[in-house]
Amino acid sequence: MELIPLPAFSDNYIWLLHHKRRVLVVDPGEAAGVLGWLDQHGAVLDTILITHHHPDHTGGVAALRESTGARVVGPRNERMPEPLQRVGDGDQIEALGLRFEVLEVPGHTAGHIAYYCADLDDLPAVFCGDTLFSGGCGRLFEGTPGQMLASLNRLASLPGPTRVCCTHEYTLSNLKFALAVEPGNEALVQYNTECVRLRAQNFPTLPSSIARERQINPFLRSGQPPVIASAQSQMAEPSTDPEAVFAALREWKNRF
Catalytic residue from among 19, 53, 57, 112: 57
Pair 217, 178: CB distance under 8 Å: yes
Catalytic residue from among 18, 19, 46, 130: 130
- Give burial (CB, 10 Å; 0-12/13-18/19+) of 238: middle
Count the alpha carbons within 13 Å of 225 in the hemisphere toward its beta carbon: 1
Is 130 a known active-site residue?
yes
Catalytic residue from among 18, 19, 53, 108: 108
C-alpha pair distances (Å), 61 with each of 70, 71, 138? 9, 10, 22
Binding-site size for Zn ion (CB under 5 A) equals: 2
Is 168 a known active-site residue?
yes
47-86 residues in contact with Fe ion (CB under 5 A) are 56
Instruction: Rank residues 54 and 221 by Cβ distance to Zn ion and give the closer one.
Output: 54
Strand order in the sheet with 44-49: 2-8, 12-19, 22-26, 44-49, 71-75, 85-87
Question: Judged by CB under 5 A, which stretch of 49-57, 92-100, 113-121, 180-188 contacts Zn ion?
Answer: 49-57
54 is a site residue for Zn ion (CB under 5 A): yes
169 binds, among Zn ion, Fe ion, none (CB under 5 to 8 A by kind): none
Is 121 a known active-site residue?
no
Pair 45, 33: CB distance under 8 Å: no
The H or E element containing residue 25 is strand 22-26
Is 108 a known active-site residue?
yes
What values do phi and psi take at 151, rounded to 5? -65, -45
CA distance 171 to 10: 14
b or e along 199-232 (b: 16 or more beta carbons within 10 Å of the residue's beta carbon)? eeeeebbbbbbbebbebbbbbbbbeeeebbebbe
The minimum distance between CB 246 and Fe ion, in angstroms, equals 20
Is 19 a known active-site residue?
no
Is 53 a known active-site residue?
no
What values do phi and psi take at 106, rounded to 5? -65, 160
The minimum distance between CB 225 and Zn ion, in angstroms, equals 32
What values do phi and psi take at 146, rounded to 5? -60, -40
Question: Judged by CB under 5 A, which stretch of 126-134, 140-148, 171-179, 181-189 contacts Fe ion?
Answer: 126-134
Q: Mask 81-120, x = binds Fe ion (CB under 5 A)?
A: ----------------------------------------
Q: Which of 30, 104, 130, 182 binds Zn ion (CB under 5 A)?
A: 130
Is 18 a known active-site residue?
no
112 is a site residue for Zn ion (CB under 5 A): no
149-178 residues in contact with Zn ion (CB under 5 A) are none
Q: Which of 30, 46, 130, 169 binds Fe ion (CB under 5 A)?
A: 130
CA distance 106 to 147: 6
The residues of the shown chain that bind Fe ion, judged by CB under 5 A, are 56, 130
Residues that are catalytic: 52, 54, 56-57, 108, 130, 168
The residues of the shown chain that bind Zn ion, judged by CB under 5 A, are 54, 130
